[in-house]
């Protein structure tokens, strides 16, 4: 056990107060148990808590990075309580929580909940005029509305493109209308089969310096991540995703990131742990490789 771990702390990674204070931490984990538009498997509202519980079992030393990223400090903020029946009010609360984290000097890490929560997180960076959103997702999420709702997990990237440029990585499921919209908008979309065929050859040079990363866990193959609301075969493997994240983060400034759409399965804790380790790995990669990492 590391000297900065305190069993029973109840925060992300189970850290002692010395490395989880709100004012001195490199990262601020913001749980958002919001779920209102699930269309296949429900349960994403339980995702944030499951991730935090599983994170207590994550080894703090990362041999690949040769460091303990947690020593930079990881604060866990209180859950953002959703407003029942009012997605706009919920997104406003998420936006406020992210702004509070940024004001404290931390990189916000939002835990969903359904992918809709990412809209509120990205809105918090309205003053970042040159911000680019990198979405890792099995789905295009480009529908203007779904089930009569403009704020749906199926509309996440469409709402983002109304104010931000973006790219979609790992996509392997979309409607004809979404495809046509992406073409008309010139949206850069890197399909999963392209990555699986030659991950090292995927061009990422078009991504500008300032980025926000949104990670829908269904970008991973169901053999790696079965606990999602809309699983799709043919997804990325663990190392596919980690290597892409390193390339996306390297030399760039990451203002924040989110990990969404975990639907915990009773009796199968492995996906919860995978999500927690992915979050920790992303933190370490930001410290080591980002433009302002300092690692």
Q: What is the pLDDT of residues 74-126, one digit of tens each?
A: 999 999 999 988 899 999 999 999 999 999 999 999 999 999 999 999 999 99
Per-residue model confidence (pLDDT) at position 294: 55
What's the CA gap between 93 and 123, in Å, rounded?
11
pLDDT of residue 37: 63
Q: Which residue has the higher pLDDT, 242 or 155?
A: 242
Q: How confident is the model at residue 168 (pLDDT cuts 50, 70, 90)?
A: very high
Tokens matching residue 177: 């209308």
**What average pLDDT does range 186-193 have in this prediction?**
97
Residue 1 pLDDT: 74
pLDDT at 187 (0 to 100) = 96
Name the more confident of 191 and 86. 191
Examine the pLDDT at 151 and tell me if it is beyond 90: no
Q: Which long-range contacts (CB under 8 A, 24 or more apart) does 177-185 make?
A: 177/143, 178/140, 178/142, 178/143, 179/140, 181/142, 182/140, 182/142, 185/161
Q: What pLDDT sits at residue 40?
A: 67
Domains annotated on the chain, with CATH: 28-61+87-289 (3.40.800.10)
Quick one: pLDDT at residue 35? Answer: 84
Residue 148, pLDDT > 60, answer no
Main-chain dihedrals φ then ψ at residue 16, nearest 5 degrees: -70, 160
* Mean pLDDT value of segment 149-174: 88
Question: Quick one: pLDDT at residue 292?
Answer: 82
Residue with tokens 């029973």: 8
Query: Distance between the two ends of the chain, CA-based, in angstroms?
Result: 23
pTM for the model: 0.96
HEC sequence for the chain: CCCCECCCCCCHHHECHHHCCCCCCCEEEEEECCCCCCCCCCCHHHHHHHHHHHHCCCCCCECCCCECHHHHCEEECCCCCCCCCCHHHHHHHHHHHHHHHHHCCCEEEEEECCCCHHHHHHHCCCCCCCCEEEEECCECCCCCCECCECCCHHHHHHHHHCCCCEEEEEECECCHHHHHHHHHHCCEEEEHHHHHHCHHHCCCCCCCCEEEEEEEHHHECCCCCCCECCCCCCCECHHHHHHHHHHHHCCCEEEEEEEECECCECCECHHHHHHHHHHHHHHHHHHHHCCCCCC
Q: Does residue 38 have a pLDDT over 80? A: no
pLDDT in tens, 254-289: 999 999 999 999 999 999 999 999 999 999 999 999
Question: How long a stretch of residues is the chain?
Answer: 295
90-97 LR contacts (CB < 8 Å, sep 24+): 90/34, 90/117, 90/120, 91/116, 91/117, 91/119, 91/120, 91/123, 91/151, 92/120, 93/120, 94/30, 94/32, 94/34, 94/120, 94/121, 94/124, 95/120, 95/121, 95/123, 95/124, 96/124, 97/30, 97/32
Residue 51 above 80 pLDDT?
Answer: yes
- Distance (Å, whole) CA 192 – CA 172: 6
pLDDT > 70 in the chain, percent: 95
Residues 6+ apart with CB under 8 A from 216: 115, 135, 136, 137, 138, 139, 141, 228, 260, 261
Predicted confidence at residue 36, as pLDDT, reads 79
Mean pLDDT of 127-152: 84
């Amino acid at each position: 056990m590391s000297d900065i771990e305190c069993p029973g702390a109840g925060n992300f990674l189970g850290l002692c107060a010395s490395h989880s204070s709100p004012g001195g931490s490199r990262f601020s984990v913001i749980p958002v148990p919001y779920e209102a538009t699930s269309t296949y498997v429900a349960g994403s509202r339980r995702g944030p808590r499951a991730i935090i519980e599983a994170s207590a079992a994550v080894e703090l030393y990362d041999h690949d990075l040769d460091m303990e990223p947690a020593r930079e400090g990881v604060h866990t903020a209180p859950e953002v309580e959703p407003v029942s029946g009012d997605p706009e009010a919920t997104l406003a609360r998420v936006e406020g929580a992210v702004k509070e984290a940024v004001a404290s000097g931390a990189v916000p890490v939002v835990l969903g909940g359904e992918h809709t929560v990412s809209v509120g997180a990205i809105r918090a960076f309205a003053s970042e005029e040159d911000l680019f959103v990198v979405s890792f997702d099995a789905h295009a999420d480009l529908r203007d509305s779904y089930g009569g709702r403009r704020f749906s997990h199926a509309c996440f990237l469409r709402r983002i493109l109304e104010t931000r440029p973006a790219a979609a990585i790992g996509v392997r499921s979309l409607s004809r209308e979404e495809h046509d919209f992406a073409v008309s908008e010139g949206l850069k979309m890197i399909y999963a089969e392209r990555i699986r065929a030659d991950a090292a050859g995927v061009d990422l040079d078009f991504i500008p310096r300032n980025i926000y990363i949104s990670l829908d866990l269904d970008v991973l193959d169901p053999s790696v991540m079965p606990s999602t609301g809309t699983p799709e075969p043919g997804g990325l493997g663990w190392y596919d995703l980690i290597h892409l994240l390193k390339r996306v983060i390297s030399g760039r400034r990451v203002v924040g990131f989110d990990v969404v759409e975990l639907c915990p399965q009773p009796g199968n804790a492995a996906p919860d742990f995978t999500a927690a380790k992915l979050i920790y790995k992303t933190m370490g990669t930001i410290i080591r490789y980002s433009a302002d990492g300092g690692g």
